[in-house]
Amino acid sequence: MRKEFLKLVTVFAAASLVLSGCGSSSSGTDTAQTAAYQTDSLYNAAPAGAENKTVASDATQVTDDNSGAATASGNETETGNGTAQTADGTAETVKDDTARKLITTVNISAETEDLDSLLSSVNAKVKALGGYVESSSISNGNSQLYGADDTRSASLTIRIPADKLDGFVNEVQKESNITQQSRDVQDVTLNYVDTQSHQKALKAEEKQLMEIMDKASTVEDIMAVEQQLTDVRYQLESIESQLRVYDNQINYSTVYLDVQEVSTYTEAQPQDLGEKIATGFIRNLKAVYHGILNAGAWVLIHSPQLAVLAVLILLVAKAVRRHHRKRIAAKAVKETQKKQSPDQKENAPETQQEAPEKKE
C-alpha cells in the first residue's frame, strides 16, 4: 500500500511539472494554439448528439479573432462574434473577460503663475476622481544660482482611474500652461492571460495535493506531500502578487506631473520671421535685466566677504610693492658700484680704514 502511494505521489509530481510548464508559456501564439487544442479536445470528448455543447464546466477558450478575445464555459458554445448558444438554443451575449490589458503612463511638464493654487486644485481633482497622489516633491526655489529666475517647482506622481485619465489631463491643461506632454501605452494582455493560466494550473495542483494528503497514512508520506504542497503554494502566492500588481497598473494610470512657477507663460514658437526676431530680442533683453539685478543682489549679499577680501588684497599689494622697491634700490647700488673708476675702488678701502680710527 505504501509503495503504491509513493508511486502515485511520484506520478502526480511529474504530471504537475508538465502542467506547470504548459501553463507558464508566455508566447501569444502558443497561448492561442493551446486554447484551440483544448477546445478541439473538449469537442472530441463530447458524447454523440452534443456537438454544440462543451462537456467541461471550467473549460476556457482564448481566441484572437476580429472581434477580440472570447470565453466559453459551462453548457454554452461561443461564436466568434461574442454571442453564445445555450442548451435551449437561445442566443446570449458573452462578457469579454479577456479584454485588452493596457498600462498607461502620462508625462506632463506645465507652468503656472500660482503654484500653491494649482497644487490645491490638482489634489482636489485627484480626490474627486477616486485617485491618489503616490509621491510629491516641492522646491521653494532657494538655490544659490544667479543670472536666472529663482522660481519654485513641484513634481508629483499621481494615480488616476484609467477611465478618468483624459478628464484629469484636460483639467490640468485648463488650469496651467502645458509645455510638454507624452503618453505611453503598454499592452500586457498576453502576459496577463498567461499568468492567469499558470494560476489556474497551480490551484488545480494544490487541490489534488490536498486530496492525496487526506489519503496519506504514514508520517513520511504526509511530509512528502506537504513539501510539494508548500512549493505549490509559494508559486501560487507569487503569481497572485504579480496579478495584483498588473491589476493596479491597469486600473490606475500613472501621471508624472512637473510644474514650474513662472511670472509669464512660455509662448508658442512663432512662425513669422519678424515675430521670431522680436520675441527673441525681448527675451534676451529681459535676461540681461534680470542678470544685472541678480548681480547687484549678489554683491550686496556677499559685501562682508568682499570687504575682507579687499583688505587682504591691499595688504598683499603693499607688501609686494615694498619688496619691489627694495629690489630696485639694491639693483641701483650694484649698478653704481660698477660705474666707479679703479682709483675710487682703491681709495674705498682706505676710507673704510680711516673711519674706525676716527671713531676711536
Kindly report, residue by residue over 182-231, the tens digit of the pLDDT. 999 999 999 999 999 999 999 999 999 999 988 888 888 889 999 999 99
Most confident stretch, 92-96, 102-106, 272-276, 291-295: 102-106
Instruction: Give Cβ neighbours of residue 359 (< 8 Å, ≥ 6 apart).
Output: none
Q: Which residue spans within 35-114 are E strands per DSSP?
A: 77-78, 83-85, 91-93, 102-112
Instruction: Give Cβ neighbours of residue 121 (< 8 Å, ≥ 6 apart).
Output: 171, 175
Q: What pLDDT score was predicted for residue 345?
A: 53
Task: Give the pLDDT mean for 100-115.
Answer: 94
Tell me if the pTM is above 0.85: no
Mean pLDDT (the chain) is 74
Residue closest to 62 by CA, chosen among 98, 20, 26, 19: 98
Task: Give the pLDDT mean for 68-95.
Answer: 39
Q: What pLDDT score was predicted for residue 124?
A: 95
The domain ranges of the chain are 1-97, 100-266
Q: What pLDDT score was predicted for residue 348?
A: 52
Most confident stretch, 43-47, 181-185, 289-293: 181-185
Residue 254 has pLDDT above 90, yes or no: yes
Question: Any idea which residue has 511638464 for its cell?
Answer: 109
Q: What pLDDT score was predicted for residue 281?
A: 84
CA–CA separation, 90 and 77 (whole Å): 11
The rounded radius of gyration (Å) of the Cα atoms in the chain is 43
Q: What pLDDT score was predicted for residue 277?
A: 83
* Residue 42 buriedness (CB in 10 A; 0-12 / 13-18 / 19+): middle
- In this predicted model, which residue has the larger pLDDT, 225 or 11? 225
Residue 47 has pLDDT above 50, yes or no: no
CB–CB of 57/74 below 8 Å? yes
High-pLDDT (> 70) share of the chain, %: 63
How sure is the predictor about 121, in pLDDT bands with cuts at 50, 70 and 90? very high
Can you list the alpha helix ranges (DSSP code H) found in the chain? 2-23, 28-45, 115-128, 165-175, 189-215, 219-251, 273-301, 303-339, 342-359
- In this predicted model, which residue has the larger pLDDT, 68 or 110? 110
How sure is the predictor about 99, in pLDDT bands with cuts at 50, 70 and 90? confident
Residue 280 has pLDDT above 90, yes or no: no
How sure is the predictor about 10, in pLDDT bands with cuts at 50, 70 and 90? low
CA 185 to each of CA 28, 169, 254: distance values in angstroms, whole numbers, following the listed order: 18, 15, 11
Q: What pLDDT score was predicted for residue 330?
A: 84
Strand partners, 154: 138, 259
How sure is the predictor about 344, in pLDDT bands with cuts at 50, 70 and 90? low
CB–CB of 28/64 below 8 Å? yes
Query: Could you tell me the sign of the dihedral formed by the alpha carbons of 333, 338, 341, 343, in that order?
Result: positive
Give the SS3 label for residue 300: helix
Q: What pLDDT score was predicted for residue 146?
A: 46
Task: Give the pLDDT mean for 31-36.
Answer: 38
Residue 143 has pLDDT above 80, yes or no: no
What's the gap between Cα 225 and its chain centre?
A: 43
**Among the listed ranges 105-114, 173-182, 214-223, 347-356, which one has the minimum average pLDDT value?**
347-356
Task: Give the pLDDT mean for 344-360.
Answer: 51
Task: Give the pLDDT mean for 129-144.
Answer: 84
CA–CA separation, 226 and 233 (whole Å): 10
How, if at all, do strands 91-93 and 153-161 pair?
unpaired
CA–CA separation, 196 and 23 (whole Å): 9
